[in-house]
Amino acid sequence: MPATSSPAVEDYLKTIHGHTEWQPEAITPSGLAAALGVAPSSVTEMVKKMAAQGLVQHVPYGAIRLTDAGRARALAVVRRHRLIETWLVREMGYTWDEVHDEAEVLEHALSDRLLEAIDERLGRPERDPHGDAIPRADGTLVSEPAVRLDEAPTGHVGRVIRISDRDPAVLRELETAGVGPGRELRVTDASATASVGVELDGADHAIPRPAAAGIWITA
At 171-188, the pLDDT tens digits run 999 999 899 999 999 999
How does strand 184-189 pair with strand 64-66? unpaired
**What was the pLDDT predicted at 4?**
47
What percent of the chain shows pLDDT beyond 90?
Answer: 89
Describe the crossing of helices 68-91 and 7-21 by its angle, rounded to 10 degrees.
90
**What was the pLDDT predicted at 66?**
97
Does domain 1-143 match CATH 3.40.630.10? no
Q: Which helix (H) or strand (E) holds 106?
A: helix 99-106
**What was the pLDDT predicted at 115?**
95
**What was the pLDDT predicted at 166?**
85
- CA gap 168, 174 in Å, rounded: 10
- CA gap 136, 148 in Å, rounded: 25
**What was the pLDDT predicted at 59?**
86
Domain boundaries, the chain: 1-143, 146-218
Confidence at 3, pLDDT banded by 50, 70, 90: very low
At 21-58, the pLDDT tens digits run 988 899 999 999 999 999 999 999 999 999 999 999 99
Q: What is the mean pLDDT of residues 92-96?
A: 95
pTM (two decimals) = 0.89
**What was the pLDDT predicted at 2?**
47
CA 17-23-28 angle, to 5 degrees, is 60
Asked whether 89 and 59 are in contact (CB, 8 A), the reply is no
Fold of 146-218: SH3 type barrels. (2.30.30)
Distances (CA, A) of 11 to 2, 73, 202, 207: 14, 11, 41, 31
Q: What is the mean pLDDT of residues 198-203?
A: 94
